[in-house]
C-alpha cells in the first residue's frame, strides 16, 4: 500500500514538470530567445505553485474528492495545453496571454496537489516519514520527467501528444484514487464517471493530434529560431542550424545561407552581365539585399533602387550583424536607395526608366500577390525599362510547378516582351526558374564579374536549356481580371505536398 | 498568413477581447425631403431670370448625362441639364473618404457585347476599350465573387458546395433553358433592340420556375437573389421575362468582367461631368414644366428656362407632379438601402481570399462590395465596404433610426465575419425610397410603358424607367435616343 501511494506522488510530480517543460519549449520554439522564455515560464510556474500551496489551507472538508477534482482539472488543462497554444499561435494574436494564463492555472493546481495529498495521508504515517517520502517521490518524479522529456517524448511523440499523454496519466491517477481512498469518498460513482469522461476526451485528443499539429504546422521550424517578428505585412523568422541561416517570410522559405549564392548569382548575372554599361537598376522585392550584393559587383552601375514593402525587412538586413555578413552590407551602400512601398502603385506613379529590373517577389500564393505577375504589371514594367534593357523575374519552379512557370512566360509574352526562360538548381529549393524578358535581343554574356561561386561564362548558355521534364506546357496568360496563375500554383504545389 | 488567423480566434481571442468600440455614422444624402416637396408642390420658387435655350434636360443621372453626352458629341451645344441635387450622378453617385472612393449604388457594368454600341463607344472614348481589347485595369480583378454558404466561403455566387446531383441537374437544365431564350435574339442589351411582346411577361419568375419543375432550393435561392439584386424584389414580384432577361442578356463573354472601379460607376459620372460641366446646373430642382404655345417653360427656384424640346431624364414617378398633362406612369418602384462601412482593419478571413462581391446565403441583404478590391496594392489593411439591401417596406425605411440599420448591418455581416465589430469605425447609410423601377409581371409589355418610349409632344422621356428596369445600359440608351430625337425635332 505505501509504495502504491507514493507512486502516485511520483506520477503527479512528473506530470507537473512535463507541463512546465512543454510551456517553456513551446514559448522558445515559437517566440525565439529560449533563455528569456524558459526563465519567465519557470518563474511564473513556481510562483503559481506557491499560490496553490497557500490556497490549500482554505480547503477544509472532502479532501479526497477535492484532490480528485484537481487531478482531473490538471489533466484536462495540462493535457490540452500544447494543443491550445499551438492553435493560438497560428490563429490568434493572444499567444503570450494564453501561455501565461495556462502556466499560472496549471501552476496553481499543481501547487495544491502535494499539500492536499500530504493532509490526506497524514493519519496513515508518522509526520517525519510522510514528509520524507512524499518529497523524495516528488523529486524522483521530476527527475524522471526531465529525462524522459528530451530523450523520448519530444522526438517520439511531439509536444501535442506528450502533453495529452501526461494529461491521461493525471486523469488515471484521479480514477485510481477513487478506488485507493474509497472509504473517504461519499459517492465514488460520480467521480469515476467524471474521470472516464476526462480520460475519453484526452484519448480523443491523442487520436486527433495529427490534425491539431497539421492545423498549426506552417509555423513550426526545424531549426532554432534566432529571430522572429510579426510585422504589419508578414511574419519574419530567421532560423539557424550550425552555419546555415534560413529566412522564412510568412512560413515560406526565402533562402538558406548555404546555397543562396546559386539563386542570387542565377537571378542577377545572366541578364545584367549581358548589359555592359548598365547604370540604373531597379530591384522589386528582395529586401534581404542579396540580389543587391550581386548587382554591386558591376562598377558601371550608378544607382540601385530597391522597392520592398516591409520596412522591418530592410531594417533587419541592414542592422543585424549575421545578416550584414551575408549581404556584405549591400543595403548600406551609397549607391542604394531603399523605398518601402507597394511595388505596383509605386511603379504606376514613377516616371523613371531603368536598364535592368530584378523582380524578386514571393511566389503567387494568393490573389493579392498574383497581381504582381499579371499582363497589366508587366506592361507597366516594360514602360520603365530602357530600349535594350532587361527584366528578370523569379518564377517559381519549372519542375514542381510547371504550368505556373510557363504561365509567367506566357504572361510576359502577352505583355509584348520577348522572353528567355532559364533555370538554376538550388539545393534547398530544388530546380528554380527565372525568366529574362526585354524588347531587344539577348546573347549570353561573354564575361562575368570575378569571384562568382556558381556561374562561369561557359555555363551560362546551359541554364537556358530545359530537360524533357521541364519543357514548355500550355498556359493562359495571367490577367488582373482572370488570375489563372494563382489557381495553377495552388493546384501544382498541393499535388507536391500530397 | 493573416487569412489563416481566424476561426478559433473568435473563441480564443474572446479572452483578451477589446471593449466593444463605438461606431460613428449617420444617414447621408437623404433625397426624400426635396422629393416630397416636389410631390407636395411646396418647393419655394421665385425665379429672378429667364433663360431661353433650345433643349433642356431634366435629371442628371446616367440617362440625363448620356443625353448631354450625345448632344455634345453631335456638335450641339445649346442646352442645359438641370440636376436637383448638389451633384449629378443619380444611382451612379459615389463618395470618398481618407481610405478610398466608393459607390453609393450602381457599381458595375457587364462587359458590353456588340449590340450595346453606345456603351462601347463611351468606353472607347474613355480608353477602356482600345482596338477591340479591354484595358484589364478596368475589369474586375480576381477573385470576382464568393458566397458564404454553410459556414464557409465558396467561389462564385451560384451555390455549388454540398449541392446534390439533383441540384446540379436542375442548374444545368436551367442554363440550357436560358441558352434557348438567348438564341431567340429577344433578350438584347439594350432591351428595345430585341424585345418582342411575350407571354413570359404575364407570369412571375417564381411561377415560371414552378411551371418548369425547378424545386432545387439552391437554384431557387440563386434566381431569387438575382431578382433581388437586379430589380430590388424577390422572384414572386418579378416578371418572368425580366427574370430570364437578366440571365439571357448577359451570357458569358470571353472577357471576364464586369467593368468596375473603386467608386463603382462613379468614375463614369465624374468623366462625363468633367466633359459636360458647362451645361450642368446643380441644385436646380424643377418645380413645374408647362407648355405655353410652342414653348415649354421649366421652373426652378431661381431661374425659368424656356425651351423648344425637353428631355425628361428624371425618375418618371415625378412626371405627374411636374407636368399638367403627364401621361400615366404605372411603374412600381423598389426601395433600397445602401451603407458604406469604413474598416480600419480587415476582418480575419477563413479559406478563400476576400472577393469584390461577397454574398451571404439566405441573408436579407444582398451582400457587400469591396471598394479597395480594385486597388493595385498587394497589401490592403483598410477598406470601405458597400453593403446593400432591397427593402420592401418604404415606411419602415424612412422611420427606423440609424442605430437600427447599424445593428442590422453588423448582425448580417457577423455571420461571416465574427470580428466585424472590431474592424468597422464608421457606417454611413443612404436611403432610397424609389431606387429603381420594379419590372413586375405585366409591366414590360404594358401599354403605359410602350407609350413612354414615344415622344409626348415635344417632351421626350429618357430614363431607365422607360425600359422598365434600372440598369446603366438602359439609362444610357434612353438618353442617347432622346438626344437624337431632340436633334431631329430642332
Q: How confident is residue A94, by pLDDT bands cut at 50, 70 and 90?
A: confident
Would you call A360 a catalytic residue per the annotation? yes
Q: Judge if A207 and A339 occupy the same domain.
A: no
Measured CA to CA, the distance from residue A193 to residue A190 in angstroms comes to: 5
Cross-strand pairs, A433: A423
For residues B33-39, average pLDDT: 88
Residue-range definition of the domain harbouring residue A201? 2-219
A343 contacts A361 by C-beta, under 8 angstroms: yes
In angstroms, the separation between the Cα of residue B483 and the nearest Cα of chain A is 35
> Which of A30, A81, A87, A91 would best serve as a mutation to test chain B binding (most B beta carbons within 10 A)?
A91
Residue A229 within any structural domain of the chain = no
Measured CA to CA, the distance from residue B105 to residue B338 in angstroms comes to: 7
Q: Judge if A129 and A205 occupy the same domain.
A: yes
In this prediction the ipTM stands at 0.89
DSSP three-state, residue B261: strand
What 8-state DSSP symbol labels residue B469?
A: S
Instruction: From A195, A219, A243, give the residue that closes a domain.
Output: A219
Residue-wise pLDDT for A108-156, tens only, equals 999 998 898 888 888 888 888 888 888 899 899 999 999 988 888 876 7
- Inspect the interface and report whether the beta carbons of B378 and A486 lie closer than 8 Å: no
Residue-wise pLDDT for A286-298, tens only, equals 999 999 999 999 9
Per domain, the residue ranges of chain B are 1-30+332-438, 36-92+264-330+443-489, 165-248
Classified by CATH at the fold level, domain B1-30+332-438 comes out as: Polyamine Oxidase; Chain A, domain 2 (3.90.660)
Per CATH, the number for B165-248 is: 1.10.405
Q: Judge if A418 and A483 occupy the same domain.
A: yes
Measured CA to CA, the distance from residue A246 to residue A243 in angstroms comes to: 10
Residue-wise pLDDT for B448-466, tens only, equals 999 999 999 999 999 999 9
A452 contacts A424 by C-beta, under 8 angstroms: no
Residue-wise pLDDT for B220-232, tens only, equals 999 999 999 999 9
Candidates A76, A98, A83; CA nearest to A166 is A76
Q: What are the strands, taking DSSP E only, across B17-166?
A: 49-52, 55-58, 79-82, 94-96, 101-103, 129-130, 133-134, 145-149, 152-155
Q: How confident is residue B108, by pLDDT bands cut at 50, 70 and 90?
A: very high
For residues B396-410, average pLDDT: 95
Percent of chain A with pLDDT over 90: 64
- Inspect the interface and report whether the beta carbons of B142 and A483 lie closer than 8 Å: yes
Cross-strand pairs, B129: B134
In angstroms, the separation between the Cα of residue A91 and the nearest Cα of chain B is 4
Cα dist. B181→A385, B83, B213, B469 in Å? 50, 39, 17, 19
In angstroms, the separation between the Cα of residue B142 and the nearest Cα of chain A is 5
Q: Judge if A450 and A306 occupy the same domain.
A: yes
Contacts 24+ apart (CB under 8 A), B172-176: B173/B212, B173/B214, B174/B212, B174/B214, B174/B219, B174/B223
Containing B479, the helix (H) or strand (E) segment is helix B472-489
Residues in contact with A376: Cβ distance below 8 Å, sequence separation at least 6, in sequence order:
A479, A480, B136, B137
Residue-wise pLDDT for B257-276, tens only, equals 899 999 999 999 999 999 99
Q: Judge if A210 and A308 occupy the same domain.
A: no
Residue A32 has pLDDT above 70, yes or no: no
Residue-wise pLDDT for A346-364, tens only, equals 999 999 999 999 999 999 9
In A279-307, which positions are buried (b, 16+ CB within 10 angstroms) versus exposed (e)? ebbbbbbbbbbbbbbbbbbbeebeebbbb
Phi then psi dihedrals of residue A281, to 5 deg = -125, 140
Q: Judge if A172 and A56 occupy the same domain.
A: yes
What CATH number is attached to the domain comprising A286? 3.40.50.150
Candidates A274, A465, A435, A265; CA nearest to A361 is A435
Contacts of A479 in chain B (CB under 8 A): 136, 139, 256
Catalytic option among A33, A360, A462, A469: A360
DSSP three-state, residue B48: coil
Reading the block at residue B75, the C-alpha cell is 456638335
pTM for the model? 0.79
Phi then psi dihedrals of residue A335, to 5 deg = -80, -10
For residues A410-418, average pLDDT: 97
Q: Which chain B residue has the Cα nearest residue A479?
A: B136
**Predicted pLDDT of residue B415:** 92
| Choice between B17 and B126, residue whose per-residue pLDDT is larger | B126
Residue A252 within any structural domain of the chain = no
Count of C-beta atoms within a 10 Å radius of residue A381:
24
Residues of A near B (Cβ–Cβ under 8 Å) read 84, 87-88, 90-94, 97-98, 101, 218, 232-235, 250-251, 309, 342-345, 348, 366-372, 374-376, 479-483, 486
Candidates A218, A221, A466; CA nearest to A365 is A218
- Inspect the interface and report whether the beta carbons of B375 and A369 lie closer than 8 Å: no
Q: How confident is residue B7, by pLDDT bands cut at 50, 70 and 90?
A: very low
DSSP three-state, residue B298: strand
> Which of A92, A359, A360 would best serve as a mutation to test chain B binding (most B beta carbons within 10 A)?
A92
Measured CA to CA, the distance from residue A423 to residue A470 in angstroms comes to: 10
**Predicted pLDDT of residue A183:** 82
Residue A446 within any structural domain of the chain = yes
For residues A173-177, average pLDDT: 90
Residues in contact with A22: Cβ distance below 8 Å, sequence separation at least 6, in sequence order:
A81, A82, A159, A162, A163
* Number of domains composing chain A: 2
In A154-164, which positions are buried (b, 16+ CB within 10 angstroms) versus exposed (e)? eeeeebbbbbb
Residue A239 within any structural domain of the chain = no
**Predicted pLDDT of residue A462:** 96
Residue A192 within any structural domain of the chain = yes
Measured CA to CA, the distance from residue A427 to residue A406 in angstroms comes to: 22
Candidates A50, A70, A48, A49; CA nearest to A59 is A70
A261 contacts A253 by C-beta, under 8 angstroms: no
Reading the block at residue B403, the C-alpha cell is 442605430
> Which of B100, B142, B258 would best serve as a mutation to test chain A binding (most A beta carbons within 10 A)?
B142
> Using H for helix, E for strand and C for coil, what is the string for chain A?
CHHHHHHHHHHHHHHHHHHHHHHHHHHHHHHCCHHHHHHHHHHHHHHHHHHHHHHHHHCCCCHHHHHHHHHHHHHHHHHHHHHHHHHHHHHCCCHHHHHHHHHHHHHHHHHHHHHHHHHHHCCCCCHHHHHHHHHHHHHHHHHHHHHHHHHHHHHHHHHHHHHHHHHHHHHHHHHHHHHHCHHHCCCHHHHHHHHHHHHHHHHHHHHCHHHHHHHHHHHCCCCEEEEEEECCCCEEEEEEECCEEEEEECCEEEEECCCHHHHHHHHHHHHHCCCCCCCEEEEEECCCCHHHHHHCCCCCCCEEEEECCCHHHHHHCCCCHHHHHHHCCHHHCCCEEEECCCHHHHHHCCCCCEEEEEEECCCCCCHHHHHHHCHHHHHHHHCCEEEEEEEEEECCCCCCCHHHHHHHHHHHHHCCCEEEEEEEEECCCEEEEEEEEECCCCCCCCCCCCCCCCCCHHHHHHHCCCCHHHCCCCCCCCECCECHHHHHHHHHHHHHHC
Measured CA to CA, the distance from residue A394 to residue A384 in angstroms comes to: 18
End-to-end CA distance of chain A: 53
Torsion of CA B345, B350, B353, B355, to 10 degrees: -80
Contacts of A309 in chain B (CB under 8 A): 378-379
Residues in chain B: 490
Cross-strand pairs, B133: B130
Q: Judge if A340 and A463 occupy the same domain.
A: yes
**Predicted pLDDT of residue B352:** 87
Instruction: Provide the sign of the torsion angle of the four alpha carbons B175, B176, B178, B179, taken in this order.
Output: positive
Residues of B near A (Cβ–Cβ under 8 Å) read 1, 3-9, 12-13, 15-16, 136-137, 139-144, 255-257, 353, 375-381
**CB nearest A234 (choices: B1, B144, B381):** B1
Residues in contact with B354: Cβ distance below 8 Å, sequence separation at least 6, in sequence order:
B346, B370, B373
Q: Judge if A213 and A262 occupy the same domain.
A: no
Contacts of B16 in chain A (CB under 8 A): 94, 97
Q: Judge if A206 and A264 occupy the same domain.
A: no
DSSP string of B400-438, one letter each residue: S-HHHHHHHHHHHHHTT-TTHHHHEEEEEEEEEEEEEEE
Candidates B19, B107, B100, B10; CA nearest to B62 is B107
Residue-wise pLDDT for B291-342, tens only, equals 999 999 999 999 999 999 999 999 999 999 999 899 999 999 999 999 999 9
**CB nearest A480 (choices: B7, B141, B353):** B141
Residue A241 within any structural domain of the chain = no
Architecture of domain B36-92+264-330+443-489: 3-Layer(bba) Sandwich (3.50)
- Inspect the interface and report whether the beta carbons of A480 and B12 lie closer than 8 Å: no
Residue A245 within any structural domain of the chain = no
Residue B349 has pLDDT above 90, yes or no: no
Residue B253 has pLDDT above 90, yes or no: no
**CB nearest A481 (choices: B15, B141, B375):** B141
Measured CA to CA, the distance from residue B340 to residue B98 in angstroms comes to: 13
Amino acid at each position: 500500500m505505501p509504495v502504491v501511494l507514493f507512486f502516485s506522488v511520483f506520477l503527479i510530480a512528473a506530470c507537473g514538470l512535463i507541463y512546465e517543460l512543454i510551456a517553456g519549449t513551446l514559448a522558445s520554439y515559437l517566440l525565439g530567445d529560449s533563455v528569456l522564455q524558459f526563465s519567465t515560464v519557470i518563474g511564473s510556474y513556481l510562483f503559481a505553485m506557491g499560490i496553490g500551496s497557500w490556497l490549500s489551507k482554505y480547503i477544509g472538508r472532502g479532501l479526497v474528492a477535492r484532490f480528485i477534482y484537481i487531478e482531473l482539472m490538471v489533466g484536462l488543462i495540462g493535457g490540452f495545453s500544447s494543443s491550445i497554444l499551438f492553435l493560438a499561435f497560428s490563429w490568434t494574436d493572444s499567444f503570450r496571454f494564453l501561455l501565461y494564463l495556462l502556466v499560472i492555472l496549471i501552476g496553481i493546481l499543481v501547487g495544491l496537489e502535494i499539500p492536499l495529498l500530504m493532509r490526506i495521508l497524514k493519519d496513515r504515517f508518522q509526520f517525519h516519514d510522510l514528509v520524507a517520502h512524499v518529497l523524495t517521490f516528488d523529486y524522483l518524479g521530476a527527475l524522471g520527467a526531465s529525462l524522459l522529456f528530451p530523450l523520448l517524448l519530444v522526438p517520439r511523440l511531439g509536444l501535442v501528444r506528450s502533453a495529452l499523454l501526461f494529461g491521461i496519466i493525471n486523469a488515471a491517477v484521479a480514477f485510481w484514487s477513487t478506488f485507493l481512498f474509497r472509504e473517504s469518498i461519499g459517492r465514488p460513482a460520480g467521480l469515476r464517471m467524471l474521470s472516464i469522461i476526462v480520460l475519453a476526451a484526452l484519448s480523443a485528443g491523442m487520436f486527433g493530434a495529427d490534425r491539431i499539429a497539421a492545423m498549426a504546422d506552417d509555423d513550426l521550424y526545424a531549426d532554432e529560431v534566432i529571430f522572429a517578428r510579426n510585422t504589419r505585412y508578414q511574419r519574419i523568422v530567421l532560423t539557424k542550424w550550425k552555419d546555415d541561416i534560413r529566412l522564412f517570410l510568412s512560413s515560406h522559405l526565402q533562402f538558406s545561407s548555404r546555397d543562396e549564392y546559386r539563386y542570387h548569382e542565377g537571378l542577377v548575372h545572366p541578364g545584367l552581365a549581358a548589359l555592359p554599361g548598365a547604370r540604373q537598376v531597379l530591384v522589386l522585392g528582395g529586401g534581404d539585399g542579396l540580389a543587391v550584393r550581386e548587382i554591386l559587383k558591376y562598377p558601371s552601375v550608378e544607382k540601385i533602387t530597391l522597392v520592398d514593402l516591409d520596412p522591418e525587412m530592410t531594417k533587419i538586413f541592414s542592422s543585424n550583424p549575421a545578416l550584414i555578413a551575408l549581404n556584405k552590407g549591400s543595403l548600406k551602400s551609397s549607391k542604394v536607395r531603399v523605398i518601402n512601398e507597394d511595388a505596383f502603385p509605386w511603379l504606376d506613379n514613377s516616371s523613371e526608366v531603368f536598364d535592368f529590373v530584378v523582380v524578386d517577389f514571393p511566389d503567387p500564393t494568393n490573389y493579392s500577390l498574383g497581381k504582381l505577375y499579371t499582363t497589366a504589371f508587366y506592361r507597366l514594367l516594360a514602360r520603365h525599362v530602357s530600349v535594350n534593357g532587361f527584366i528578370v523575374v523569379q518564377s517559381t519552379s519549372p519542375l514542381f510547378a510547371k504550368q505556373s512557370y510557363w504561365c509567367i512566360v506566357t504572361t510576359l509574352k502577352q505583355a509584348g516582351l520577348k522572353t528567355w526562360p532559364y533555370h538554376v538548381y538550388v539545393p534547398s529549393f530544388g530546380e528554380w526558374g527565372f525568366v529574362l524578358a526585354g524588347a531587344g535581343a539577348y546573347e549570353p554574356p561573354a564575361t562575368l564579374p570575378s569571384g562568382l561561386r556558381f556561374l562561369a561564362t561557359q555555363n551560362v548558355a546551359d541554364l537556358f536549356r530545359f530537360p524533357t521534364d521541364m519543357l514548355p506546357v500550355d498556359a493562359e496568360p495571367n490577367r488582373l481580371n482572370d488570375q489563372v496563375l494563382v489557381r495553377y500554383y495552388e493546384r501544382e504545389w498541393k499535388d507536391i505536398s500530397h | 498568413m493573416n487569412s489563416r488567423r481566424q476561426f478559433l480566434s473568435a473563441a480564443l481571442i474572446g479572452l483578451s477581447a477589446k471593449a466593444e468600440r463605438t461606431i460613428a455614422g449617420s444617414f447621408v444624402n437623404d433625397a426624400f425631403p426635396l422629393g416630397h416637396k416636389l410631390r407636395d408642390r411646396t418647393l419655394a420658387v421665385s425665379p429672378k431670370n429667364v433663360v431661353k435655350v433650345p433643349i433642356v434636360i431634366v435629371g442628371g443621372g446616367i440617362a440625363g448625362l448620356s443625353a448631354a453626352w450625345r448632344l455634345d458629341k453631335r456638335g450641339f451645344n445649346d442646352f442645359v441639364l438641370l440636376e436637383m441635387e448638389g451633384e449629378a450622378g443619380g444611382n451612379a453617385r459615389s463618395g470618398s473618404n481618407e481610405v478610398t472612393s466608393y459607390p453609393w449604388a450602381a457599381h458595375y457594368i457587364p462587359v458590353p457585347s456588340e449590340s450595346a454600341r453606345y456603351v462601347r463607344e463611351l468606353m472607347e472614348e474613355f480608353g477602356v476599350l482600345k482596338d477591340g481589347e479591354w484595358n484589364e485595369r478596368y475589369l474586375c480583378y480576381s477573385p470576382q465573387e464568393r458566397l458564404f454558404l454553410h459556414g464557409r466561403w465558396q467561389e462564385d455566387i451560384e451555390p455549388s458546395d454540398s449541392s446534390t446531383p439533383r441540384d446540379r441537374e436542375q442548374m444545368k437544365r436551367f442554363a440550357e433553358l436560358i441558352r434557348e431564350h438567348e438564341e431567340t435574339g429577344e433578350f438584347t442589351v439594350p432591351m428595345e433592340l430585341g424585345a418582342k411582346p411575350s407571354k413570359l411577361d404575364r407570369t412571375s419568375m417564381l411561377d415560371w420556375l414552378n411551371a418548369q419543375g425547378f424545386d432545387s432550393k439552391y437554384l431557387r435561392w440563386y434566381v431569387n437573389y438575382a431578382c433581388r439584386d437586379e430589380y430590388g424584389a424577390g422572384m414572386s414580384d418579378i416578371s418572368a421575362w425580366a427574370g430570364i432577361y437578366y440571365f439571357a442578356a448577359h451570357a458569358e463573354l470571353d472577357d471576364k468582367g464586369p467593368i468596375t472601379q473603386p467608386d463603382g460607376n462613379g468614375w463614369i459620372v465624374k468623366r462625363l461631368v468633367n466633359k459636360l460641366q458647362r451645361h450642368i446646373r446643380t441644385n436646380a430642382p424643377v418645380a413645374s414644366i408647362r407648355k405655353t404655345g410652342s414653348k415649354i417653360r421649366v421652373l426652378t427656384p431661381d431661374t425659368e428656362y424656356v425651351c423648344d424640346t425637353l428631355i425628361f431624364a428624371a425618375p418618371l414617378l415625378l412626371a405627374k407632379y411636374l407636368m399638367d398633362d403627364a401621361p400615366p406612369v404605372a411603374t412600381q418602384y423598389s426601395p433600397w438601402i445602401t451603407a458604406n462601412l469604413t474598416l480600419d482593419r480587415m476582418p480575419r478571413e477563413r479559406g478563400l481570399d476576400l472577393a469584390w462581391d461577397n454574398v451571404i446565403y439566405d441573408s436579407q441583404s444582398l451582400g457587400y462590395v469591396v471598394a479597395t478590391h480594385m486597388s493595385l496594392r498587394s497589401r490592403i489593411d483598410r477598406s470601405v465596404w458597400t453593403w446593400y439591401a432591397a427593402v420592401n417596406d418604404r415606411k419602415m425605411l424612412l422611420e427606423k433610426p440609424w442605430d437600427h440599420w447599424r445593428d442590422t448591418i453588423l448582425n448580417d455581416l457577423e455571420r461571416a465575419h465574427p470580428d466585424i465589430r472590431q474592424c468597422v469605425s464608421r457606417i454611413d447609410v443612404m436611403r432610397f425610397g424609389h431606387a429603381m423601377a420594379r419590372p413586375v409581371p405585366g409591366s414590360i409589355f404594358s401599354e403605359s410603358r410602350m407609350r413612354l418610349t414615344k415622344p409626348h409632344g415635344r417632351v421626350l422621356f429618357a430614363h431607365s424607367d422607360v425600359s422598365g428596369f434600372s440598369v446603366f445600359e438602359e439609362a444610357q440608351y434612353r438618353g442617347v435616343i432622346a438626344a437624337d430625337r431632340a436633334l431631329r425635332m430642332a
